[in-house]
Structures are given as C-alpha cells and as structure tokens.
Amino acid sequence: MPDRIYNFSPGPGTLPQEVLAQAAKDIVNFNDKGIGLIEMSHRSKEFMKVTEDAMDLVRELLNVPDNFKILFLQGGASSQFAMVPMNLLGPGKIGSYLNTGTWAKKAIKEANIIAEADVAYSSEESGFDHVPQDGDYTVNPNSEYLYFVSNNTIYGTQFQTMPKSDKMLICDMSSDILSRTFDFTPFGVVFAGAQKNMGPAGTTVVIVREDLLDRTPDTVPTMFRYKTHADKGSMFNTPPCFAIYTVGLVCKWLKKLGGVEAIEAVNKEKAQMLYSTIDSTDFYKGHARINSRSPMNVTFNLPTPELESQFIQEGASLGFDGLKGHRSIGGVRASIYNAFPKQGVVDLVDFMKEFERKNG
C-alpha cells in the first residue's frame, strides 16, 4: 500500500498535499509566532488577516461582484436549507425549488416548515438520473427565488449550465464551487460546505447579495440572520478558525495553478477519461444521463451487486479509497474534486479495464 492513497470519497474530499503540509506546520506554530493557529484569538490581528485574506481570495477566484458579502458560517450547508427561507421568505411567501436529489429534498422540507416551497420540477421518478433543461419547468410567478443544487454528489449529476429564470437564483454549490466559472448576475445567494472543494469540514461559505440583508423578517433570531454575520465580518461569535484558514490556503493553491479557469480544464479532462472508459463497454453503466453528467462525482454500476462489492474491495486493496456508492443507489462513485490528482484517475481507469478483463 502506498504512503498516500487515492481518496475518492464524496466528502471530506482530497486536499492538496502542499496545503496539508503547511497546515500541519501552522497548527503547531503559526508564522513562527510560538503559538498554534487553533490556539490564537480569533480577534487577534493575525487571525483577522487570515479571514480577510480568505474572503478576498474567494472573491477574486469566483469573480464575486462588490455588491455581494462573503460570509464564513457554521452549521454546514444543511443549516442553509433553513437559513435561506428564514432570511428571504417569511409567512405567506413562496420559494420555487428544483428537486434533483437528496439535498434538494432536504431543502424543500425545511422551506415548508418556514414558508412554502413550490416544487417546479422533480427528477425523482427516474431515480434522480438527470437535471432539467431550460424549458422543462415553470417557476411560480409569485416565487421570491428559484433554488437549485448545482451538483448532486449522490447521483453524479450537474447543471452543466446554470438555470435561467426571471427570479433570482439561490444555489447550493457545495460540491462544485471553485471548479468552474459562472456569472453571479442572476444570483441572490450562493453557498457551499467547504469540505469538498475548498477545505476541511467546519465552515460554510455563504455569498449573499447585499440588498437582501435587510429583507429578513423581525421574527428571525439574531444568530440566523445573514446581516448579523455580514455586519461583523463573520466574527459575531468565535468562527471555525482552522477551516477558514485552510480555505485560504486552498485558494492560494488554486490561484497559483491559474485559478478557476485552469482547474475547470483539468476537471473536464479527468472526468472525460472516466466517462470514456464507462462508455466504451457494456460492463460498466453510468447512472447519470449524458447531458447531466457531473465532472465531480462519477457514478456507475457493474453487472451485479456482487461484482460491485468485489470491485470496491479489490480497489481498496490497491489504494483506491471511498469508491462505494451512496447507500440509496449503491454501485460505485468516484469523486474527483479539484485537488484529486490526474494520476489517480489514470490508475483507476487501468484498474477498471483489468477488472473487466478478469470478470467480464
């Protein structure tokens, strides 16, 4: 077994080795100050700079307009399922939702507790094997927004182009943020748990349009208001310091590579290698429809559940970790986020071909 295995897990995902090495040093002695990063006061000038730098890098890499605030919050992306309608809806208000998988379903459930979620489209009947194309759905004219999940980790689907609507877009971009470029103009809120493409678990990046900060109903508690955190620079209470710091390191790594445009090309190349292998044979069968395929999470099946178990077990023995598909659909899932090395995909493809030769 190699010293460093390939982490195909859907999250927490692979981080760049140089980021891990720097974090390991700074967690003991940050910038040679004789104190570890996770011991420092979050209100010290050193950590305030860490946070500001991370925010600036996220803004630069995603080309976030000046009229958006960048927040580092806690509670995971799941907390945003409730915070979005708490801040943007209220009693009697409606939000429209595209139901393309587990995380969209959970968001719809939370929205219905707070206000009303109108499901404009659902791909549940087909096993969430696709996302809708423009024209497949009609948004309720009374809706405040159109909510969607850009990339569905469990099912291996992605909106390859962002939905179009005359309503502002709200997006859970947890599993493909920083992996591709997009225009912020139609968006009101974009959020993402950090633990797939941005850093370790512990913080959620929320990018919210400034004019929405004053929309929150008076009944929403202080901690659950976006404005509370925007006004305090994400320092209303003690933030997830280590996670924010590591997001900053990952952003520096990505900027050095050439930014989001550069990593988008790499991601497409990695995904194409895997999908080409799947498409070249009847032994492997992809779950997602071709026009909805995700470059982040490649999901597929083998002829029998027994062969799938054997494939996962043999792969693990060779250093391919985390290939087991989600329990809801089974099969195999290879998550190949930004920091996942191209060589890992090359080696997986070689293993897939050899496994088929022996068992096909």
Whether the ω angle into residue 141 lies within 30 degrees of 0, i.e. cis, is no
196 is catalytic: yes
Coil, strand or helix at 84: helix
Residue of 93, 196, 270, 324 marked active site: 196
Q: Which amino acid is at 128?
A: F
270 is catalytic: no
Closest CA to 166 of 186, 152, 151: 186
Residue of 26, 69, 93, 103 marked active site: 103
Q: Which two tokens stand for residue 227?
A: 């404005």
Output phi, psi for 160, to 5 deg.
-70, -25
d(CA 132, CA 214): 32
Residue of 172, 252, 253, 270 marked active site: 172
Between the alpha carbon of residue 177 and those of residues 153, 194, 213, the distances in Å are 13, 9, 22
Residue 355's CB: how many other CB atoms inside 10 A?
18
CB contact at 8 A, 98 and 132: yes
Q: At what angle do helices 17-26 and 241-257 cross, to 10 degrees?
A: 140
d(CA 156, CA 150): 11
Q: At what angle do helices 45-62 and 259-279 cross, to 10 degrees?
A: 60
Between the alpha carbon of residue 125 and those of residues 104, 105, 112, 130, the distances in Å are 15, 13, 21, 11
| DSSP symbol at 282 | S
118 is catalytic: no
Sheet holding 187-193, edge to edge: 68-73, 204-209, 187-193, 168-172, 143-149, 94-99, 116-122
Mind telling me the catalytic residues?
103, 172, 196
